[in-house]
Amino acid sequence: MSTHTPTQERGKISRFVFLGLACLLVVSVLVQIFMAGMALFTDSAYWRSHVIFVRIFEYLPILMLIFSFAGKLPKSLRWLSLLLFVLIWAQYFTAHVPGAGAFHTVIAAVLFWTAVHVMIRANRVVR
């Protein structure tokens, strides 16, 4: 017989979902960077894939934020989830504002390392 209440079980599931979303975001950012590299160095047709793919994962940080509340994760992970969302939207800004394009790659690096940091911290909390 389980000693966990339904609320505790939902919290545990929410923490695992958060971790899964964090892992998915890291992989998605890596794929996005790979497609940008393919577009630059192999075939410019990959730009279309690069532009379309972000639409698939751009809201993962918002889902992470929601599950961070449901899973009662530390506030730092909540803030970092929000930061990840802001960084993704900053990418849209730098891609479309003349003169801001050089920051696009810098923000991509910050986005990747922040996502990795969140994934590692979430793994420690969940496990």
Average pLDDT over residues 32-43: 96
**Token pair belonging to 58:** 């751009």
Is residue 99 one of the residues assigned to a domain? yes
Decide if 110 contacts 88 (C-beta within 8 A).
Answer: no
| Res 7 pLDDT > 80 | no
**Residue 112 Cα distances to 3, 8, 101, 115, angstroms:** 39, 31, 17, 5
Decide if 18 contacts 126 (C-beta within 8 A).
Answer: yes
Structure confidence by residue, pLDDT tens digits, 101-126: 899 999 999 999 999 999 999 999 99
Is residue 88 one of the residues assigned to a domain? yes
Is residue 1 one of the residues assigned to a domain? no
The domain in which residue 115 lies consists of 6-126
Is residue 54 one of the residues assigned to a domain? yes
Decide if 19 contacts 11 (C-beta within 8 A).
Answer: no
Is residue 38 one of the residues assigned to a domain? yes
Number of domains in the chain: 1
Is residue 77 one of the residues assigned to a domain? yes
Between 58 and 6, the higher pLDDT residue: 58
Average pLDDT over residues 22-28: 98
Is residue 100 one of the residues assigned to a domain? yes
Mean of the per-residue pLDDT values of the chain: 94
Is residue 68 one of the residues assigned to a domain? yes
Closest-CA residue to 60 (of 34, 36, 89, 97): 89
| Res 8 pLDDT > 90 | no
